[in-house]
Every structure is written in structure tokens, then in C-alpha cells.
A and B are shown apart, each in its own frame.
Chain A
Amino acid sequence: MTLKTLLAGATLALLSSTVAHAGDVRIMWYSDGVEGEVLADLISRFTKQNPDINVIIDNVAYGVVKEQLPIQLEAGNGPDIARVTALKDLSRHWLDLRPLVADPSYWDTNFGAQADWMRPDGSNQISGFMTQITLTGGFANKTLFDQAGVPLPGKDATWDDWAAAAKKVAESQKIPFAMALDRSGHRISAPNIAYGTNYFGSDGKPAPLDDGAKAFIGKFVGWANDGMINKDVWVSAAGQTYRAAAEDFINAQLAYYYSGSWQIANFSTKIGNGFDWVATGSPCGTASCTGMPGGAGLVAIRYTKNPKDVAKVMDYLASEAVVKEFSERTLFIPAHKGVLDKGNLDFQTKDPQVKAALDTFVAATKTTSAEALKMPSWRWSDTVYGALVSRVGQAIAGELSLEDAFARIDADIATKVKDSAL
């Protein structure tokens, strides 16, 4: 074999490992729990039925999807399909599947409720589908409540009721904190809206903070100063960085934790039979008892070289049977209307707490306010969340007074709106 042949062979091998061929479909995927394994299993079945389509799953960290995917997309690159949470913000990069999928009416019927979350404003594009619907809500350490002899507040309990009950439990059981709420603008927006806030200005852009948001934020910062809530979560980062308090709840350091339905599988795995826990839905404010909806969507990327193959993969993953199996195995609430309407989901867990928690969250979807439901499809929701997190964090850390924090939130949002030149 000559040197030339060797070099040519090596070059060919190198190229074949990096260049996408017709029939290649790359999926950029991140996992919170076991969903990556479930997807791999589902895809292996698809490729058996469609040997001409080579599906490659790139499992990456959530940070890669959040920070690197937007840059790839701006450069006109990226995977063929991606699992993302920034659905509206990046919607101009999503492929319109309407002319490509087998039956667009199937998609409209079953995923129509969230279709607007992921398409450019004013279009009827089919961009993808939600892999799961999430809802924010509370979790209580039932064992601690029982040991303290404090009854769990009922379904119409207010934030103050939960705070008072959790405080009694913390004092009785000598745990460091009564409550915690994730460091997230999305999370704190649920009680803000429950207290009657309206983020939407008349021009569709963000309105200045109103009394509803100020009422809850004031209450929240007060709780932090009193040692009621785990302020570590909120002051252990700067800017818009996300922090969850799940580990404190798992380690039985909290009586009450406000997070969301995506924690259920995590709690089931990590708490096991360490203690009893229950999902409680969202506490009430003065206006409503709402949680915040959200979730991750699987979207097709418009820069794909193989749109027909991408549509085939999306059709398969969005099919009723696959969505049902995916939801049952990952313990996610599905977004598929048909699956939800039939209500015969058999979540694959032996933990009765999981089933009860999922039921609670499904029931809580009925009290989600209209305002909260509009947030995922609003262009400015992340802007509002970012300003809330950074400034409330500073107020809790003692860097800003409450009034200064409110003024800064408004100023930050106004600047961001101006920066975006929209």
C-alpha cells in the first residue's frame, strides 16, 4: 500500500466521522433524570424500522443547550433537532414542520395548546412539541410535619399559612430552614402572579412592577431576613444564575420547598423511603392559587440538511404511543392532548408518593391563572425573570433596599427592551 493510498484512506475516514450524510439526524439532548436513556431506547426502535435514517443523539449538559446552542444557531449551524427551554426566544431558528409532517392536523390537535410557545409571533408554524409540561408547585416533608404535630395546610392555604406552618415545624424539629424557593425568576413569578401582579404592558412589552409583585417580593425578602427561608439559595450566586434547593429538601433540611413537577422523579430516586413527602400544589395569594407552567420542547432546526428525515423522526417521537411511553417511563406530565384526555397513564414507579404527587400537579393545572399561562409564549418573560433574580438576590444579600431593588428591576427591564431594538 502506497503512502498516497494510506493518506487518502485516513482522510476519508476522518471526513466520514465528521460530515453529516444524507439520512443523518443529530439530536442535541439534555437530561434532568432518566429521559436520555428512554429516548435512546425509543430511537433504537425507530432506526430498526427506518434503517435509511441514522439518528445520532448528542447527550450534553443543560448549560451547553442554554449557552452554546444559541451561538451555533446564529451562525446557521447546530444539530437537526434539539431539546430546549428557550422556546420563544430562539423561535426564528426553528424549522416549520407543517409542510413536512405526515398529518399537520394531528399536531394541531394534540400539541396546539403549546404550539405558540415555540413559533415566531403571528405564524402558524409547527416547530416541534413539548417533551413534557411542567408546573411549579410546593413539596412538604410530611414526616417532619407529622413529627412536629403540625397539620399540613389544606388546598386553599395561602403563602402565609404555609410559612407559619413550616416555621412551627422547623422550630419543633430543629432544622435550619422552614422553607426554600429556587433561585429562579420563573419560580418567584408564580407567587407574584398569585398576589395579582400583571407583567404585561399595554404595548405587549413589560409593564413596571406593580403592587402584586412588590407585595410578595417584600414578604419574601422579609422571610429571608427572619431566617424563615433558606436565603443561601438566593445569595449563593450573582446575576441570573439558577440555583435549586432540591438537595436541602432531599437531605430533610426543609419543611417546605417550592419548586416544580420536574423534581418528582429526582425525589423518588434520592429520597426513597428516607421520609414521606407530598406535593402540595401552589399556595394562594390574594388573587389566585397559581403555579407557573413551563417545560422543555423538542424542536426541529431550520438549518438541517435533511428536513424530510427530521420530520420523520419528529412524527415518530410525537406519536401518541411514543409520547405515552416516554411520559410513563420518565414520570413527566405529557403535553399531548390525546394522551391527557384518555387519562390512562400508567406511570412506571412503585413509589405511591410519585403517583400522588403527579395527581396533585395534574389537578393544579386547573387553577393555573390566565396570566401565568401566557408567560411561556411571551417574548419578554426571560427578560423579566432575569431582572427579578439578580435584583431580589441583591436585596436578600443586603446590597439593595427593597425600594432600590424595585427601581432597578424596572430599569433593567427597560434597558434590555431598549437593547434588543425590538
Chain B
Amino acid sequence: MGLIDRPMRALQRATGLNGMALLFLAPNMLVFGIFVLLPLAINIVYSATGGSALFLPERSYVGLAQYRRLFDCGNYLDPLTCQEDPFWTAVGNTFWFVVLQVSLMILAALITALILNRRLAARSFWRAVFFFPVLLSPVVVGLIWRWILQRQGLLNFLLYPLGIEPYNWLTDRDWSFLAAVGVSLWAHMGFYTLILLAGLQAIPKDLYEAAAMDGTRPGRVFWRITLPLLAPNLIVVIVLALIRAVQVFDEVYVLTGGGPGTSTLFLTQYIYETGFVSQPRNPGLAAAASILMGLVLVVLTLLQLGLGKRGETKGRRA
């Protein structure tokens, strides 16, 4: 009998089996409560207050006024008809960023994982190469790419001998948006590739051997074996990438600062600037916007849970 057994048994007798479970959960719940639930509750309260003071007791109660202000729009597709036009610009930018970045991310991560799953020379090295950007701080990622893409940057240095005049890729509205998508993709793809690679390696080899013996074409093998068995991992990757894309901020903030104009202004930057940078600050409006963003993330998380269950079922059937 170990040293700890006797007191544990005594504790179990005193609290019962359920009480024991609650006792062990308590520290975690305490941390979760203090650092997640409490701030969330405070944020909700903030969203119902007005004024520029940060200290809650000094703020006035305004009910749903902050939400009404965010939704005060002539035409939601034209941000300039909205009272809070940077918010709707940020919503639009975030939407297109999510659509473009997530689809490209999944495609690129899947292709990379399929290639890295093959017998390659120096396979571990290539895996490390694709995973390396994930280890970098987002600020470092943003700075590196800014040095590459700015007017006196590396890209222009390489293009100049080809007769292409130096161009500031980050101050052109279209290029800067694509740069934000590309840089974010470069920074995070390795993580998703790793998840997909793990999924690919979990697929039993005998299925491929049987398919080879039957003379099945590679495309058919991919659609009939690889993709269905990879579905659970793929769903996890899609939902994680979606959540990450909605929250995009750090590397893009360093890369473009949200510009040119507001073409790379995303929701998180809008919330940050409204709450902490603009003069005077508006913590109530920032809190309301963050609650709305949180709701979107809750929907995406529920989607993950739902699709995750379906994916598991589908994977088992396959």
C-alpha cells in the first residue's frame, strides 16, 4: 500500500465517490472560473455600459445601446452606411479572410501532408521545414514578411534584376490582403499538416495493399480510402482553422497595421483599437463587439462538436 492510499481512502469515505471527483475538479474549475468565466461575465457587464472610464463603477449603464450602435446600418453590405463603419468593414474583411485563408490552408496542408507521408529522401528534414514557422512568434512572422514585402525589401531586391520596378506590396489594397492571407497560411500551415499527417499514418496499410492488388487508380484510392478515413482529422483541422482565422490579429497587425486604409482591418484589431487605442477609449463598444465575435466562435465550436461526432461515425463505417 502506497503512502497516499490511506489518506485517499479516508477522503473517499468522507466525501463519497462523486464528492471525490468534485474535489479533484475544484482546482481546475477555480482557475477556469477566475480566468475565463469571471472575465466573460465582466465583459458582458462592460458591454452594457458607456463612457470612456475603464473602472467599472465609474461607468454608466446603457443597456443594449452599444449593440444597437453596432447594428445601426443602412445597408450591411456597405459599411459606409453604418454608424460604426470600421466594425462592419472589419466584419467583411474577416469574412473574406476566413473564406480564402481556411480553404487555401486546408488544401495546402492536405497536399503537403500527402507528400510528406510518402517515402521521401530526408523526410524528417522536410517535415521540420514545414513545421518550423509554427514555432515562431506571430510578431516575428509579421516582421520577417514585412522586411520581405516592403518597398526596400527582399522581394523587390530579387525582382529588380528582372526589370521590375520596386513596389510596396503592403500598401496596395489587393496585394496587402493577399499578403495577409499568405503570411497567415505560411505561419500556421505546419500545425495542420502535422495533424493530417498523423491521420494519414493511422490509416491501415493493408487497405492500400488490397487496393494495389485490385489495380485501383490512385485517384480512386484517395477518394475512397484516404479521404473517408482522414475525415475526423480533416474536420478537426477545418474547425480549428476557422476559429483561428476568425481571431486573426497579431501577425497581420505587425505586417500591415490594418492598412492600407482599412483593407486588412480585422475584427480583433477593431476590438483592440476601440477598447485600448482610440481617444477617448470606448471599452463598452469593444466589449459588445467581442461578445458578438465570441458568439460566432461558439457557433463554430458547436459545429466542431457536431461534425466531429459525424466524422467519427463516418470514419468507423469506412
Contact = CB atoms under 8 A, between A and B. Distances in A.
Interface of A: 67, 70-71, 74-75, 89, 176, 231-232, 235-241, 243, 251, 382-383, 385-386, 390, 393-394, 396-400, 404, 408, 415-416, 419-421
Contacts of A232: 151, 168, 171
Contacts of A71: 54, 276
B171 A386 contact: no
B51 A420 contact: yes
Nearest to B273: A239
Contact of B171 (A67, A231, A400, A415): A231
A420 B280 contact: yes
Query: Looking at chain A's contact residues, is the secondary structure mostly helix, strand, loop, or mixed?
Result: helix
Interface stretch (B40-48, B107-115, B252-260): B252-260
27 contacts: A176-B166, A232-B168, A235-B171, A235-B259, A236-B256, A236-B260, A237-B258, A237-B259, A238-B258, A238-B261, A238-B269, A238-B273, A239-B86, A239-B258, A239-B278, A241-B277, A251-B152, A382-B280, A390-B86, A393-B260, A394-B261, A397-B173, A397-B262, A399-B261, A400-B261, A408-B85, A419-B280
B108 to A, nearest CB: 27
B80 A404 contact: yes
A383 B281 CA distance: 10
B279 A383 contact: yes
Interface residues of B, number: 38
B282 to A, nearest CB: 5
Interface in B217-261: 256-261
Contacts of A421: 50-52, 60
Contact of A416 (B152, B168, B263, B280): B280
A241 B262 contact: no
A421 B85 CA distance: 21
Interface of B: 50-55, 60, 80, 83, 85-86, 151-152, 166, 168, 170-171, 173, 256-265, 269, 273, 276-282, 285
A421 B50 CA distance: 8
Question: Max chain B CB contacts within 10 Å: which of A75, A396, A419?
Answer: A419
Contacts of B55: 74-75
A255 to B, nearest CB: 17
Contacts of A235: 171, 259-261
Contacts of A237: 256-259
B280 A238 contact: no
B220 to A, nearest CB: 49
